[in-house]
Structure 1
Amino acid sequence: MSLEIERKYLEPDFEAVRRRLREVGGVPLGVHFESNCIFDRVEGGFAEAGFLLRLRTQEWPERQRHILTLKMPSRADGPFKVREERECGISEAASLRGIFEGIGYVERARYEKVREEWRLPGVLVALDRVPFGLVAEIEGEPKAIETAERCLHLDKCKTSTKSYHTLHQEWCGARGLPPSLSFVFDEPERTRLREALGLTSGANREERA
């Protein structure tokens, strides 16, 4: 069990952030392709109650990892998003999906991103490319987050404590598009991004586990 404290920064200049990370001694932790599946009961109820049950697959050229996460209802804490989360590694993702289906859980949504991670003192910095834009995220204690955002000049960006799902819904609404719980790359873009990372073509590789 852990407490997630984070803040998002919308449409940052990734090259400028990377340059600043190198200048201040940030430690690069690698880049991976990420596939996420959100599960709920057939009749729903998890999202309405503020819970999130997620199966995440992270892929690097030499390995992949599956993580099951339960996020508890978030609470406001000023300019930060604070949420308790409970998670564990999973060795057989396909089997877990079968278990979920057996007890009446269904896949409610799916989303993808390319995540690049860096470590600075007291925080984890993520540069996320999602199908609807670029987002930076800093996770850590509030004071460390504020120090890091000033250091990386992210304090000039628009900030948000909203989930990616809410940000995507707002993005769709602003463009007159129908709401959608899922947001994934189209096949040509997915292939391009995966090949750039040295991954095999295709998506949602958690079924291989």
Structure 2
Amino acid sequence: MALEVERKFLDVDLDELRNRLREQGARCLGAHFEGNTVFDTPEGDLFSSGRLLRLRSQEWPDKSRCVLTLKLPAAAPTGAEHCKVRDEREVGVADAAAMRRILEGLGYSPTARYEKVREPWHLNGVEVELDILSFMQGAELEGPAEAINAVQKSLGLDKVTISTKNYHQLHQDWLHRNNLPPRRSFVFDETQRRAWRRQLGLPDEDCPIIP
């Protein structure tokens, strides 16, 4: 069990933020393409109880990784105001297709898919995630609450819009603002996906780990 404490920042200039990270000696952990499939019961038992069951793939030019994650509601620690706090449990998965069959055998089925390009940096005990999705760009700070507050200030993010919503909720807000019907999945279109994969040095094809 690990307590995940994170704070999202919207409407971020990623190029400017990247420059500030470099200036402060942050270490880039490698941009990658990410595919996610969310599982739930037909009745939506996990979603209705604030739980998330997710199978995630990550692709770099020289490696790939798949992780099964369960997130549960958790109480916020002191100093974690304006942060999203979850009890996060993860395990690496060697065979994503086999894990999917196991989940389906237990009564879970895919309910949403989403993709993003993620560029993680490490600065003073905080992981700074630069995220590009089909409908927005943003950043996350994840780590101990006090360290998040300090890094937020050092990177000049104090005046940027903060959100405790997850990307699914932010996507629903975006659909509403654009008078589009609700939908749970948000993936790149074919042109976007190919462009981002080429930029990352990945094969010119859809994410192969999670169908």
Report TM bin, short chain. Answer: over 0.9
Q: Match of 1:82, as an amino acid? A: V
Aligned-CA RMSD value = 1.3
**Cα distance in 1 between the residues matched to 2:21 and 2:48:** 38
Segments of 5+ residues of structure 2 without an aligned counterpart are: none
Residue number in structure 2 paired with 1:20? 20
Tell me the equivalent position of 2:41: 41
Deviations 1:24-52 (A, max 9, x none): 11011110000000001122211000000
Paired position in structure 2 for 1:82? 85
Counterpart Cα distance in 2 of 1:170 and 1:146 = 26
Matches of 2:74 and 2:61 in 1, distance apart?
A: 34
| Pair 1:165-2:201 in alignment | no
Cα distance between partner residues in 1 of 2:174 and 2:75? 23
Question: Which whole-Å CA distance do the structure 2 matches of 1:100 and 1:202 have between them?
Answer: 26
- C-alpha distance in 2, partners of 1:205/1:152? 36
Aligned with residue 116 of structure 2, among 113, 117, 133: 113
Native 8 Å contact 1:75 1:81 kept in 2:
no
**Counting strand residues as a fraction of each chain, which structure ranks higher?**
1
Q: Which runs of 5+ in 1 are unaligned?
A: none
Of 148, 152, 165, the match for 1:149: 152
What is the percent sequence identity of the aligned residues? 50
CA distance in 1, matches of 2:87, 2:39: 18
Give SS of 1:200's match.
coil
Tell me the distance in 1 between the aligned counterparts of 2:49 and 2:156: 36
**Number of equivalent positions:** 208
Distance 2:117 2:30 in 1: 11
Does the aligned pair in 2 maintain the 1:50–1:74 contact within 8 Å? Answer: no
Amino acid at match of 1:150: K
The Cα of 1:207 is off from its aligned counterpart by: 4.7
Structure 1 residue 73 displacement after superposition? 1.9
